[in-house]
Structure 1
């Protein structure tokens, strides 16, 4: 399956791209996608992925075992400061 990953702020800088399509095996979870992102961008992204939040099709993800569907959009949001 293919998902679209969008990076914001520091995650965008660490990945070096704003958006990309990522190929995953059928039945993959958000955790599987995160592991693939770390593999694709080993220089700066893996450490940041430990602190980010995720939105899956616009909804906050709390459970990384949540399954993905083909065509899903996964947003990678680094911690934000301020209020």
Structure 2
């Protein structure tokens, strides 16, 4: 089975829940954003799944609305919790 590796970057509450700022994640070739999210839930089962319910994602700097969007090797997936502003 061939794999691809993506870089996941966590921000704010997602960083706290994952316990790290960035990590490399290996997935089967042909994976999509939803597959990456499922793997993040598996890798960090304690607090991150709750945070992932309310986050948005950037894939290579572009907002992701469709979680079936395919991933390519070397992609960067940013996990962005809602930010309070004022």
Global fold match (TM > 0.5):
yes
Structure 2 length-normalised TM: 0.95
Residue aligning to 2:74:
71
Query: Which structure 1 residue ranges, 4+ long, deviate > 3 Å from structure 2?
Result: none
User: Is 1:55 the counterpart of 2:58 in the alignment?
Assistant: yes
Structure 1 length-normalised TM: 0.98
Gapped regions of structure 2 (runs ≥ 5) = none
Rounded to whole Å, the distance in 1 between the matches of 2:70 and 2:50 is 23
Secondary structure at 1:24 match in 2: strand
Gapped regions of structure 1 (runs ≥ 5) = none
Count of equivalent residues:
83
Rounded to whole Å, the distance in 1 between the matches of 2:35 and 2:53 is 14
Rounded to whole Å, the distance in 1 between the matches of 2:85 and 2:50 is 22
Query: Which digits, 9 at most, give the CA deviation of each residue in 1:60-79, with x for residues without a partner?
Result: 00000000000000000001
Query: Which digits, 9 at most, give the CA deviation of each residue in 1:17-76, with x for residues without a partner?
Result: 000000000000000000000000000000111110000000000000000000000000
The 5 A counterparts of 1:18-37 are: 18-37=21-40
Q: What value does the CA root-mean-square deviation take over the aligned residues?
A: 0.6
